[in-house]
Structure 1
Amino acid sequence: MNCILFDGPVRDNLLPFTFTRPVAEIRVGIMTIREKWEAYLNCPISYLTEDYLSEKYPLTLANTNLMINASILPSEKLVQELRNLSENEVLLKDDIIIAYWSKTADKDQDVSSFDQLNYNGEIVQILNTWDIFSKNGEALQADFDFLTKGRKSQPISNTNSLIHPERIFLEEGAKVEYSILNATEGPIYIGKNAEIWEGSLIRGGLALCDNAIIKMGGKLYGPTTIGPYSKVCGEVSNSVIFGYSSKGHEGYLGNAVLGEWCNIGADSNNSNLKNNYAKVRLWNYATEKFEHTGLQFCGLMMGDHSKTAINTMFNTGTVIGVSSNIYVPGFPRNFVPSFSWGGASGFSTYMPTKAFEAAKVMMARRNVEFNDIEANILNHVFEITKKWRNY
């Protein structure tokens, strides 16, 4: 079986995160969407995404290919339906294309002539940026059940205080000492070589992915995901960090999503609730205006390689693009375009050559090379986001 995850029409609603990755590389729950499908189908996955991303995220074609909507999360029932799908059939949920077989990979594939099969089960779909944190609890529980089924957790040190230890799972090399872990409201998953340092207070659901760290005195409550090689401290609530990012000091992060290679300065905070308790609007790149989320709680959306100085403050429902640097006092506006430098008093353009210098140093600290492929992606993002930078 050759499987391809295609971005689909929701890709623009998931910016700024999909400026630098296909939809399939979004992390929600414990795994990325691609990792979930690979685990369920037990086969390699490739991508049908934007051309400028295809060198890093290539497409592999075979004589016939199972095309799967990358915004939809797998389940046992859905996977069984896909295994029974035949050529010239398309599986739909109402008007949403879930999957079909094809000899080609075309972003504008016409499936109107295919036999239409309606999926009668429930699907979990990531349609908007805020779905990443608002549906994280459901995705985290599903991933936990799948990854731990029939397996036994590594021993948990008796220095810790545990509530519902049967819902706490440590992978090989995970370390937790002198902390409180409460899995009453959701499971707690500690990935390979991940660490929770002394004095931390953890209330599930929580996914601490491989090689990630919660520093001393961290206060995390779920459902929250801390991606691989990330470091966190302070207070974190119902947030998702994709990976390789740092929020290493005190400060509040709530109902938020951070991409990769982000850094949140000490004592930085985001608001996740308006002081009039109104529903939150969030910048939408597809419509180029602020759209209603329907949520009362919605915090910060920050694209890859963006950073804040110490004591930075963000209003409810703030969107920060890729490779932006926020550092002056006061609340910046609720939408900061990619490659912006400044804050509440104004912005200038953060030129790619300067941004790349910082990226090279930060990535080297995690033993990852900033190469020409990464530079080409970011240069492309710089060009296509110019229209939002009026400076």
Structure 2
Amino acid sequence: MDQKKIDEILDDFDGSHETFRLYKDRLVLVLQEILNKSEIPTDSISGSLMTRGDLRSSLSQDIVSYNSFSEVEGVVSIRVVLMFHDDIALTAELLKREFFIEPLQLSHNESLEQDRFGVSINKFFLMVSEEKSGQMEYARFSSLKIVLTIRSTFQDAWFGVKEKFVQMARSGLIGEGNMNQLAQVSYLIKMADAELSRIRFSLDEKNQKRQVQAPPKEVVHIRTEKQGNKVKENTVQNKEVSHFNDGKPEFSEVTMRTFRDNLERFILDDQTIRNIDRNISDYYDTALTYNDEFVDTLARMYSNARIIKTDSIKEALDNGEPLVREMMKHLYDDIYQKRSEYIHKGTCLLVMFFILLAKTGSVDIIRRHVGGHLERTGISDTEFANNILLYYKKSAGTLKDGT
């Protein structure tokens, strides 16, 4: 951009700085109120405002050319840090009730970043909704486009660590080998993030079972019969049904990506899966193709892997089960990509296997077919089967949050 245009935008920024500051402070308070009411466990909500120096540097380096200050994005940034990563999608849906929110388009480098650990993909543009833009307190903010980031506590911690190392790499203080080691740390933190959510889920499940085993009872005394001077009193006990927070948005969809993340920890270091990975890689030379032939080939390799199976599951795989093909869309950002850093192809196959097991709706069937995949996890086959069924039902949009 030419210097004259930069100076014009900076002058407009100076004149609008106070408006942006007020809006930042207001947004933080509004988001705190919304999340407090929703009872979503939140670590922190904070806002930041570009300084004049930040904006000047951005305009000087940015490859995008702006015609006016109103086109500049990210002058105000809001960061919401949640305790659990599986509340991120829920929070985004919740905020859509109050604001206009759209996913932020990632740059090519961000979308290919190997160790992003989900940090980059949880960015959104937030604007005043059409309904609120007519309200006096929001009218002057209606044209402002805010960058909203929603992270888990682990993601937020990882982002800070990674930024430090990236700066060191740019300064030549660390090499590529160190960055590869850092990517391994990223994966460990990612596993810890998923484990924290699993612990929360397990505790919630135990509390719900406790409620079912010892439900509160409502005693109703009904005076019904008169015998002489005495009134016979009948006692009726009604079981009270548990109620969930209807104020939370529905889980209209929990993506298979989340499903995959929760399954990864069950298959680490599994030799069978490594063999499947190797066979698929040899067969396709790492070039993945999304078509029926690919699904059928996976089915044949699945048969040769000696995983316990039933005829109905084998038949579903051989026929290119539509749900399995739908899985592929969620497992790979680009179904034609030639390599995937985080998604093992054998993992993909195993998830297909679990999906088809879950379709039976039977805990017993799932328990019989999990094989030796639970040996290192410390989780019972019954608990694993129940988890699989719950994730499958959520992915089909059949459950509400908390049910």
Higher relative contact order (CA 8 A, sep 6+): 2
More strand by share: 1
Q: Which has the larger radius of gyration?
A: 2
Q: Same fold (TM over 0.5)?
A: no
More helix by share: 2
TM-score, structure 1 length as denominator?
0.30
